Structure 1
Amino acid sequence: MTDPRGDVVLRVAPRPADINSNGHIFGGWVLSQMDIAGGIVAGRIAQGAVATVAIEGMKFITPILLGDVVSVYAQAERRGRTSVAIRIDVVATRGGGEEQVDLTSGLFTFVALDEHHRPRPLP
C-alpha cells in the first residue's frame, strides 16, 4: 500500500545538541531536514541542481522530542516550467516504535538550475 504522504526520503534521530531551552528540538533543525529531503526529490525530478526558492504553508503541529525517530516524507505536488513544489510531511516514531506523531508539514518550491546557477526548464 502506498503512503499518501509520499516516500520516506530521510529518517534521522535528533541529538542532544539539537535541543532548545524548552527541551524540544529547534524548529530550524527540522526545517533543514525538510529542505534536504525536498532537495533530494526535486533534484531527481530536475535531473540536476536545484535551489529552494519558497516555503509555503509551514505548520508546526507538535514539538519534536529527544528520542524521537523523525521520518521525512516528500512528494511532488505541482510542476511549473522551471520549478517544482514538494509537499513535505514530518512524522515522529515515539515510545520504542509504539506511537506515530505528526510533527510538521510544508510546501517547498525548488527551481532547477543550469551551470551558471540560473533557472532552467525542467526535463
Structure 2
Amino acid sequence: MTNRSPLIRVTAMPTDLNPYGGVFGGWLMSQMALGAGSLASREGEGKAVVVSASDFAFPGAMQVGDELSVYCEITATGNTSLTVEAEAIARTRNGTAETKVAQGTFKFVLLDDEDKPRPVRMAAEAANPVPENDA
C-alpha cells in the first residue's frame, strides 16, 4: 500500500471473537469493507456500494485489545466501478509489534441520486481537470 494513513482504526473487543477465542474473520472483513467503502465514496465523490469481495487471506491472528488499522488503495477503475485493495494490520495492545492479519479486494459501483450506476469521476480529476483541446 502506498498510502499509509489508516482509513479505520479500532480496538478488537470481546464481542468480536470467534468460538475459539481469536478475533472473528468476518469482523475483520467488515472493518476492511468500511475502510474501503470510505475511500471509494470519497474518491468517487458520492455513493459507492460494494458488489464483490475477493482474494481474502488471513495470514496472522489478532487478540482482544489489539488495535486494528485498515489501509486501502484504489487499484483499478472501470466505467462505473472502483477496485480497492485493503490490508488489515494489528498492533499489540501493550506494545508496538504489528502483524498483517488480513488482506482482500473489494469492488464498488458508484451510484447516482436514483441509485443507478454512474460514471467514475475521481476527486483528483475534479481538482486537476484535463484541459480540452480547442482545435
TM-score by length of 2: 0.84
Tell me which structure has the larger Cα radius of gyration: 2
Unaligned runs of 5+ in 1: none
Figure out how many residues of one structure are paired with residues of the other and give that number.
121
Identity fraction in percent: 31
Q: What RMSD, in angstroms, separates the aligned Cα atoms of the two structures?
A: 1.4
Aligned to 1:45: 43
TM-score by length of 1: 0.92
> 1:26-51: CA deviations, max 9, x gaps?
11111110111000000012100010
Question: 1:19 aligned to 2:29?
Answer: no
Conserved in 2, the CA contact under 8 Å of 1:5 and 1:89? no
Conserved in 2, the CA contact under 8 Å of 1:86 and 1:109? yes
User: Which structure shows the higher strand fraction?
Assistant: 1
Q: What's the CA shift for 1:7?
A: 2.9
Runs of 4+ in 1 over 6 A off after TM superposition: none
Alignment CA distance shift 1:64-1:102 (3 Å)? same
After TM superposition, the structure 1 = structure 2 runs for residues 45-84 of structure 1, keeping only pairs within 5 Å, are 45-84=43-82
Query: Which residue of 94, 97, 111 maps to 2:95?
Result: 97
Question: 1:33 aligned to 2:31?
Answer: yes
